[in-house]
């Protein structure tokens, strides 16, 4: 099984190899699709296998998958597959129109493969030091994608992303060092003191002051990658300036990788320090993120920035769910993670079609999508209401579960405050996106077809239709295997 785990993480590197070999957008796109579909298939197999055999561990914990990590591997692999289809279409359109040079296209696919591989690898290790190294490396790979277009705004966003994210991950490194220090009294080797299974088993023996500081620093540090307020400032710029498939990867995959790292620290701290401390920290950052995200949704007109602030809000919801705790809260957090990842990937991929057609990211200048891009318009509306937590979509079910968790054993004012913020976000988000779909197309803004060939249109359509269908299915029916996988994944938290 170790070879399968390594292969899962390494397969996306075939895309990088194709780009280095000089493949153009068409060939590199198909290599990306094939490689990521392979990783997705292996993630489904591992999701089933670990539900029956519990864990894969090798190389002194450097390769490690349990029910929690494999659920995140599955979620990220779903996003990577959707983004690979979107990349194959989007980059060909930009190459054909001359917006990107062949060198930029090769750079995109080279770093796309590396970015995907590093995220999957970071979720497949049990060593917290290696986790830091892989997440930091993913920052560098994704920063190259953010600045790909080499415009002043995109380069500024890339540098801002590098500086803030690297600072955050450095803080997380300090937290990892304090976690290492908290176990100095244990009869373990230095290598084992950074291995998550051993730390989890001996969490009650760790030094409390060092563990308390380690958890707080980890939340601040990895919370920067997650986009938790007030460490979220890089996120709107990076998401709005990156190519749309990259934005999907950042919002729907990278943020979840950071949340996974926080959950690992939380599981240890909950045993060592008790539930109250970790709940206070997670609820504080969670409510701050939901509040900041909802307020910026009111004022933002750039629709890609709008989707980015929505990600800040939703990662805050996940943090609140984990803070509420219990089986309901943790189940809602995992279900929300999967649904948000799919919904946000669909939104950003649909935004790529709009950018190619309208040549703008300003929501006030986009009107009449039902007339100009009917399929994109339909997908956009479905994804918008799914992301807003409307029935019958999966996010409605996860948010309802989280609100129920907030009512267990505590006063109702916290879930009530969350509900009011969700209403504010609903109104603000719908107010910007619904007018984009309805109404007459703008007379003064030239609108062109996003894709010139049938092949490109098919590649662009597959992730949109597949993603929206999955959002609907997960709202009406959670497959038994997925339900079992979610229950298993929350074991370390409950």
The pLDDT of residue 445: 60
Give SS3 for 58: strand
pLDDT per position in the chain (494 positions), as tens? 788 999 999 999 999 999 999 888 889 999 999 999 999 999 999 998 888 777 888 888 889 999 999 999 999 999 999 999 999 999 998 888 878 888 999 999 999 999 999 999 999 999 999 999 999 999 889 999 998 887 888 899 999 999 999 999 999 999 999 988 877 666 555 556 688 888 888 888 888 899 999 999 999 999 999 999 999 999 999 998 999 999 999 999 999 999 999 999 999 999 989 889 999 999 999 999 999 999 999 999 999 999 999 999 999 999 999 999 899 999 999 999 999 999 999 999 999 999 998 888 999 888 889 888 999 999 999 999 999 999 999 999 999 999 999 998 888 999 999 999 999 999 999 999 999 998 777 666 667 777 877 889 999 999 999 999 999 999 999 999 999 999 999 988 87
3-state secondary structure string across 294-352? HHHHHHCCEHHHHHHHHHHHHHHHHHHHHHHCHHHHHHHHHHHHHHHHHHHHHHHHHHH
User: Which domain covers residue 445, as residue numbers?
Assistant: 1-491
Give SS3 for 234: helix
Number of domains in the chain: 1
Residues 6+ apart with CB under 8 A from 445: 358, 359, 360, 365
DSSP 366-397: ---HHHH-HHHHHHHHHHHHHHTT-TTSHHHH
Contact by Cβ (8 Å): 255, 224:
no
**Rg, the chain, Cα only:** 21
Q: Tell me the two tokens of residue 213.
A: 């500081």
The pLDDT of residue 25: 86
Distance between CA atoms of residues 159 and 142, nearest Å: 11
The pLDDT of residue 446: 61
Q: Which single residue is written with the structure tokens 């320090």?
A: 273
pTM exceeds 0.85, yes or no: yes
Give backbone dihedrals phi and psi of 479, rounded to 5 degrees, phi first: -55, 145
C-beta atoms surrounding 99 within 10 Å: 14
Per DSSP, 254 falls in state I
Using one digit for the tens of pLDDT, what is the confidence trace for 364-384? 888 889 888 999 999 999 999
Helix 152-182 crosses helix 234-241 at what angle (to 10 degrees)? 130
Residues 6+ apart with CB under 8 A from 92: 25, 26, 29, 451, 456, 459
Per DSSP, 361 falls in state -
Using one digit for the tens of pLDDT, what is the confidence trace for 406-433? 998 888 999 999 999 999 999 999 999 9
User: Which CA distances in Å does 421 have to 36, 46, 59?
Assistant: 36, 37, 46
């Amino acid at each position: 099984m170790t070879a399968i785990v390594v292969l899962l993480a390494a397969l996306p590197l075939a895309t990088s190899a194709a780009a280095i070999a000089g493949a153009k957008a068409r060939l590199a796109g198909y290599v990306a699709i094939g490689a990521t579909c392979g990783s997705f298939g292996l993630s489904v197999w591992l999701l089933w296998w670990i539900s029956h055999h519990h864990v894969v561990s090798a190389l002194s914990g450097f390769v490690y998958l349990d029910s929690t990590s494999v659920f995140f591997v599955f979620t990220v692999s779903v996003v990577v597959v959707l983004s690979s289809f979107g990349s194959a279409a989007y980059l060909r359109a930009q190459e054909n129109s001359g917006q990107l040079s062949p060198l930029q296209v090769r750079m995109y696919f080279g770093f796309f493969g590396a970015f995907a591989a590093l995220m999957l690898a970071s979720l497949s290790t049990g060593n917290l030091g290696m986790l830091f190294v892989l997440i930091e490396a993913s920052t560098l790979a994704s920063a190259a994608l953010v600045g790909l277009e080499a415009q002043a705004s995109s380069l500024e966003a890339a540098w801002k992303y590098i500086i803030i994210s690297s600072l955050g991950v450095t803080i997380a490194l300090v937290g990892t060092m304090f976690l290492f220090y908290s176990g100095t009294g244990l009869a373990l080797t230095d290598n084992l003191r950074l291995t998550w299974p051993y730390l989890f088993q001996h969490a009650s023996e760790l030094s409390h002051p060092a563990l308390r500081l380690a958890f707080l620093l980890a939340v601040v540090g990895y919370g920067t990658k997650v986009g938790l307020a007030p460490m979220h400032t890089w996120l709107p710029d990076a998401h709005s300036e990156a190519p749309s498939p990259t934005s999907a990867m950042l919002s729907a995959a990278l943020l979840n990788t950071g949340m996974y790292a926080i959950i690992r620290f939380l599981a240890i701290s909950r045993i060592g320090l008790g539930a109250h401390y970790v709940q206070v920290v997670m609820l504080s950052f969670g409510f701050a993120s939901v509040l900041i995200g909802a307020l910026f949704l009111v004022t933002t007109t750039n629709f890609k920035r709008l989707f980015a602030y929505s990600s800040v809000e939703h990662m805050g919801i996940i943090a609140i769910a984990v803070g509420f705790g219990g089986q309901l809260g943790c189940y809602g957090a995992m279900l929300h993670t999967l649904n948000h990842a799919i919904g946000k990937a669909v939104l950003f991929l649909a935004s790529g079609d709009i950018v190619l057609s309208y040549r703008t990211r300003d929501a006030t200048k986009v009107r009449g999508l039902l007339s100009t891009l009917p399929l994109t318009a339909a997908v956009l509306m479905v994804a918008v209401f799914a992301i807003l937590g409307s029935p019958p979509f999966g996010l409605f079910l996860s948010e309802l579960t989280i609100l129920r968790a907030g009512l267990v054993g505590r006063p109702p004012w916290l879930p009530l405050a969350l509900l009011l913020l969700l209403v504010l976000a609903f109104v603000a988000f719908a107010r910007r996106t619904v007018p984009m779909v309805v109404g007459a197309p703008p007379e003064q803004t030239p609108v062109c077809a996003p894709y010139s060939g049938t092949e490109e249109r098919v590649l662009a359509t597959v992730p949109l239709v597949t993603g929206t269908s999955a959002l609907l299915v997960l709202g009406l029916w959670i497959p038994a295997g997925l339900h079992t996988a979610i229950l298993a994944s929350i074991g370390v938290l409950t």
